[in-house]
Chain A
Amino acid sequence: MFDSLTQKFNNVFRSLSGRGRITEDNVRDAMRQVRTALLEADVNFKVVKDFCESVTQKALGAEVIKSLHPGQMMIKIVNDELTQLMGPVDSRIYYVSPGPTVILLAGLQGSGKTTTAGKLAKYLVSKGKKPLLVADDLQRPAAILQLQTLGEQLGVPVHCDFDSKDPVKVAVKGVHVARSSDRDVVVLDTAGRLHIDADLMDELGRVCKAVTPHQIYLVCDSMTGQDAVNSAKEFNDQLELDGVILTKLDGDARGGAALSVKAVTGKPIKFIGVGEKLDKLEEFHPDRMAGRILGMGDVVSLVEKAQEQFDAEEAEKLQQKMAKGQLTFDDFLKQMQMMKKMGGMKDIMKLIPGIGSQMAGMDVDDGEIKRIEAIVHSMTKKERQNPDLIDASRRRRIARGSGTEPHDVSGLVKTFNQTRQMMKTMSGMGMMGRMKAMKQLGNMDMFGGKVPQMKIKQRSKRKKVDRKKKAKGGQSRSKGRR
């Protein structure tokens, strides 16, 4: 599903490429894919409808930044809109003074309330608070015991009453205990309940009335489908929520529920649960969630990162150098450092639509890049400007300096020469040609990858590219195959 979706986006965006402006038809076409993407990510149908409407309006009015792909611009608009809808971020817990601050966790059965209560307690401890857990789930067998076990693991006291049948009393007692034992935050773990179960919802209302919690969080399973809106709305109507905690995000659910819940309740998503261990509670980042919901890598951050890192003027200079085949090792190094700033090679590859799927089987080794850097650093200025200078003796010196073998050095020089050659070739190509050449770039052994040989339409007469076949075995240069 994931790949096919990325593919779909690519198709739409390919059709957009080369145009300076997004036409209305383009937008509608792309929006159809966005709609499918959102629906497949379990965003509620109505929310999707409204969302698509507003994005279409925005996209039609938007100018395309010249240096960007119109497709990317489109994704950017979608992404920004999604991010904005799910934001703003507000992970703060508002404490009251004098304490104790009472936090109530509510939600459907199995959404992860008890585990979240444990995680929240741990988070509070890390913030210098002294939480008290209150086991107010008197419904499910052994729920109290579960919270007690968690409390023991964390060294956080747990208030519980095995004999009581009345959650209101337990909650009130819990707050009293906190007050008298000098705990400043109370985390109330309530029983899971269906939003349509009038009796249990009533009971929850009574608990709220009795202890007037300062914060009420809805714990919501990120795998929830279209129904997320119904339950969230009902809980919000009855309890006046203060925030949402989204759980089980360590799975591969795309988490459209986040958007649905935010859309119907308007309440911020405070935290996300990303694992079973008790430290797996993170603050929510709407931008990351947006990428996840769209299921297309994070092209926008890539574009933005690239924009941040690449100085336009410098890029222009570089481009000219490339065109003339005058690239030096210094430029090479600079490029690599930029890439590193943008995250690891693997991450970057994943972010590029189309290339990501091509490279699925490829093992990009970031350590390799470090080694290359070391080699380049061990070269003299002259050598960097003019790699042809490097003879056997210099090679030995460079290898010693970088802690590599001489054949590593010669391998890098070779790769570099190829790159230079290819850059020159590429600069004469259109966008499509460049995309293809990019794929070919991954084909070279400088990434130590195991890439299947790709068919490349060679527009240039240069035969040099054929040498890249040596990469076929997937052996990396540093392993000393030659």
Chain B
Amino acid sequence: MALFSRTIEKLKNGLRKSRDKIGNSLKTVLTLGRKIDEELLEQLEEQLITADIGVETSMQIIDDLRSAWKEKKIAAAEDIIPFLKQDLIACWPERDRQLKMADQPPTVVMITGVNGCGKTTSVGKLSYWLSQQGHKVVLGACDTFRAAAVEQLSIWSKRCDVQIVKHQQDSDPAAVAFDACEAALARKTDFLIVDTAGRLHTQQNLMRELTKIRDVIARKIPEAPHEVIQVLDATTGQNAINQAKMFTQAVNVSGIMLAKLDGTAKGGIVIAIRNQINIPVKFIGIGEGPEDIEPFDPESFVEALFS
């Protein structure tokens, strides 16, 4: 229970800025007793777009609102927030948000994303989160490209007291993945978390490398990787949709970790991603410390966005 209340607290703190911003502007728009009209809807659309939800998805949400209004389900401004909440929370049913476990350990989690979105930090936090729950975790340092990425992950492994499998810089990431799988099997760990190098989704050769890493893992451990998490910087704009599309094409992304939600960015793009590519959000990152990770809770997310 303590953990749970901390979750809410963290999320609220993390989202306070965003909430203040959007909430305040929403409040000025949604004054009590105001009737819904086209002007109001337009102002709302502006708010949604400013939250990076995107033009298309914002328009859809507004259309939903409009038809509900036309059907007389809602009439006053104060009905709008509960309606939006319900509308958005329905995007993320609970079963989508859980980490899929392997029938037979190790459960392999592969982490991908573009450069600088926070992959290595997220791997560190995730390993901390899992080991706090009593799981035995091993990390695979497959980012062999960026200078000192292996060292960065090594520091995380010490910090979280988990094992790590690593090679030299510039070695073949698929080979690291292979060794990491062997180590996970031999040491009978519960989880293997594979960190990969950041790559822009437009670099086809690098995306193929990613597919290769995945294939190597799958060959070594049947049905692995059980989860492919794409780390997404909450400040990212509409390009996140392309990112998610291309990463899904390469390695079949099964969930998103929304990092850096402790800033003023609202991360509204995950709504568009859910809408267009149907990828759920599994975790959020709200700081630089190991404990700054939470499972995604759509209710708090939407609440923090609108309350």
Contact = CB atoms under 8 A, between A and B. Distances in A.
A318 to B, nearest CB: 40
Interface string A11-49: 000000000000000000000000010011110110000
B179 interface: no
A155 interface: no
B210 to A, nearest CB: 15
Interface stretch (B67-75, B84-92, B112-120, B211-219): B112-120
Interface residues of A, number: 48
Interface string B148-163: 1101101110010000
Given A143-B148, A223-B240, A231 B235 contact: yes
Contacts of A45: 46, 49-50
B5 interface: no
B195 interface: no
A110 B263 contact: no
A247 B236 CA distance: 13
A221 B259 CA distance: 15
Given A226-B51, A250-B200, A251-B201, A256 B237 contact: yes
A194 interface: yes
Interface stretch (A144-152, A337-345, A438-446): A144-152
Interface size range of chain B in the complex = 35 or more
B260 A251 contact: no
Contacts of A112: 115-116
A194 B265 CA distance: 10
A52 B196 CA distance: 42
Contact of A253 (B116, B151, B239): B239
Interface of B is mostly: loop
A109 B169 CA distance: 23
Given A39-B49, A227-B265, A231-B263, A250 B202 contact: yes
B17 interface: yes
B60 interface: no
A248 B264 contact: no
Contacts of B201: 251-252
Contacts of B237: 42, 223-226, 228, 253, 256-257
B266 interface: yes
A141 B49 contact: no
Interface of A is mostly: loop
A225 B235 contact: yes
Interface string B221-234: 00000000000010
Contacts of A141: 151-152, 155-156, 159
Interface string A121-150: 000000000000000000111110111111
Contacts of A196: 17, 263-264
Contacts of B243: 223
B78 interface: no
A331 to B, nearest CB: 41
A2 to B, nearest CB: 9
Given A110-B117, A276-B115, A149 B238 contact: no
Nearest to A139: B288
Interface of A: 1, 36, 39-42, 44-45, 108-112, 115, 139-143, 145-150, 153, 194-196, 221, 223-228, 230-231, 247-248, 250-254, 256-257, 276
Interface of B: 17, 46, 49-52, 54-55, 114-118, 121, 145-149, 151-152, 154-156, 159, 169, 200-203, 233, 235-243, 260, 262-266, 269, 288
23 contacts: A41-B238, A44-B50, A45-B46, A108-B263, A109-B116, A109-B118, A110-B117, A112-B115, A141-B152, A143-B152, A145-B147, A145-B148, A223-B236, A223-B239, A223-B243, A227-B263, A230-B264, A231-B264, A251-B200, A252-B202, A253-B237, A253-B242, A257-B237
Smallest CB-CB A-B distances: 6 pairs: A225-B237, A110-B116, A42-B237, A149-B147, A146-B148, A142-B152
Given A225-B265, A250-B202, 17 more contacts: A1-B242, A44-B50, A108-B263, A110-B117, A110-B260, A142-B148, A146-B149, A153-B147, A196-B264, A223-B239, A224-B237, A225-B52, A226-B52, A248-B114, A251-B114, A252-B242, A253-B239
